[in-house]
């Protein structure tokens, strides 16, 4: 005959089994009849971080009743230097692309240019190399290329470059300095002065010439780190 202790253990085991069975039935019912969980909604769309006062893709919607001018527009100096940089993108030179923009004292663009070969001289038939394996200078670009500053002055749509300003992405060499002085340009604004190889004397001579001729020279101080250009239809 089973003792009281054995009966108690049997009762507890039976109760535990009943609870487990009930839990299994409940889980089966829940898994079968539960509504499918909706996926988490995507994070709310946000405009890209502003770049130079405007969004990279689309500027934020503006209040149509706002009567004040917008903020984040570029300065005149950044504008003209950006034109010089954009002009440099037309250069076929695989090593260095330089651009220039000639501007009147009234802020009107008079001419633009980039480094390349003269008109009528094929970009595919003349060499673009910086050095010749045989030491032949005629196998390099230097005897043939026209610098950006010279092209900007020669391409001017104005009667004269006298008294005008020249924006250039790289400080002009001594040969360009001569043309700048002779054309009457009154100010040179450059982005970077890059002395390469053993050509330091070229830029020292350029500084000397421009200083003696009274041409004002200053380094561009950008107010914006970049000016993106997006070929997308504007939001209206």
Compute the residue count for the chain: 236
Q: Where are the alpha helices (DSSP H) in 57-199?
A: 76-88, 148-154, 174-183
Catalytic residue of the set 71, 149, 187, 233: 149
Query: What residues form DSSP beta bridges with 51?
Result: 54
Residue 159's CB is within 10 A of a number of other CB atoms, namely 7
Task: Give residue 65's Cα distance to chain centre.
Answer: 33
Q: Are 166 and 100 in contact (CB under 8 A)?
A: yes
DSSP track, 33-84: HSPPPPPPPPPPP-PPPEETTEESSSPPPPPTT--SPPS-PPPHHHHHHHHH
Single out the residue of 97, 76, 113 nearest to residue 192, CA to CA.
97
* DSSP annotation of 51: E
Is 149 among the residues known to form the active site? yes
Written as six digits, the tokens of 65 are 């009743």
Active site residues: 149
């Amino acid at each position: 005959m089973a003792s009281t202790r054995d009966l108690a253990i049997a009762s507890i085991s039976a109760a535990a089994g009943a609870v487990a069975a009930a839990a299994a039935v409940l889980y089966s019912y829940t898994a079968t009849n539960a509504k499918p969980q909706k996926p988490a909604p995507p994070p709310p769309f946000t405009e890209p971080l502003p770049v130079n006062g405007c969004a990279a893709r689309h500027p934020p919607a503006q209040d149509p009743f706002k009567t004040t001018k917008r903020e984040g527009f570029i300065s005149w100096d950044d504008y003209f230097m950006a034109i010089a940089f954009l002009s440099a993108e037309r250069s076929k030179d695989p090593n260095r692309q330089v651009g220039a923009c000639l501007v009147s004292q009234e802020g009107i663009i008079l001419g633009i240019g980039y480094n390349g070969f003269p008109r009528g001289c094929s970009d595919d038939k003349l060499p673009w190399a910086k050095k010749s394996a045989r030491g032949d200078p005629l196998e390099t670009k230097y005897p043939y290329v026209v610098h950006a500053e010279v092209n900007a002055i020669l391409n001017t749509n104005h009667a004269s470059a006298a008294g005008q300003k020249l924006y250039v992405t790289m400080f002009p060499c001594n040969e360009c300095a001569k043309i700048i002085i002779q054309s009457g340009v009154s100010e040179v604004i450059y982005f970077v002065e890059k002395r390469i190889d053993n050509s330091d004397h070229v830029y020292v001579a350029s500084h000397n010439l421009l200083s003696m001729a009274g041409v004002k020279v200053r380094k561009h101080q950008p107010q914006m780190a970049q000016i993106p250009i997006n070929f997308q239809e504007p939001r209206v």
